[in-house]
A = this chain, B = another copy of it.
Amino acid sequence: MVIGSNLQSQTSLEARETHELIGSDKVEGTAVYRPNGVKIGNIARVMIGKQSGKVGYAVMSFGGFLGIGEDYYPLPWSLLTYNPRLEGYEVNISDTQLERAPRYGTTESWDWNGRTRAVDDYYGVQPGWLT
């Protein structure tokens, strides 16, 4: 590692998280765990409400290998809690819940326009990101 890149990665770390704020590029790639510490996936992206500026959903990738055969699970953001000990997000979703959860594959399209209500209903949450 050269000095330049070392400096840069230190900077990025400092600039990407505080106790009040977190960078979108730090959320992406972060692991998602069950409360028992078992990893269930990684965050691919978060979806931001254009009007409200609020994060509405996290898209969790799960399964597959190097992006092939992965499934993407849209999860209401309010279900995720950051756990500093695990250095990842904790979400209380059972295997049974995950089996029937709304999802899409790498080669499928997902139209958020008609589907946010289905996701909210499935997990029993209110869409707080709208306003």
Residues of A whose CB lies within 8 Å of any CB of B are: 4, 7-8, 10-11, 14-16, 18-28, 44-57, 59, 67, 72, 77-78, 82, 104, 106-113, 116, 128-130
Contacts and interface: CB of A to CB of B under 8 A. Distances in A.
Nearest to A13: B109
30 contacts: A4-B107, A8-B67, A10-B109, A11-B104, A11-B106, A11-B109, A14-B109, A14-B111, A15-B72, A15-B110, A19-B113, A20-B49, A20-B116, A20-B130, A21-B47, A21-B116, A21-B129, A23-B45, A23-B47, A23-B48, A23-B59, A24-B27, A24-B47, A24-B48, A25-B28, A25-B44, A48-B55, A50-B82, A53-B54, A53-B128
Contacts of A129: 21, 53
Contacts of A77: 53
Contacts of A47: 21-24
B18 A112 contact: yes
Contacts of A54: 52-55
Main secondary structure, interface of A, reads: mixed
Contacts of A46: 23-24, 48
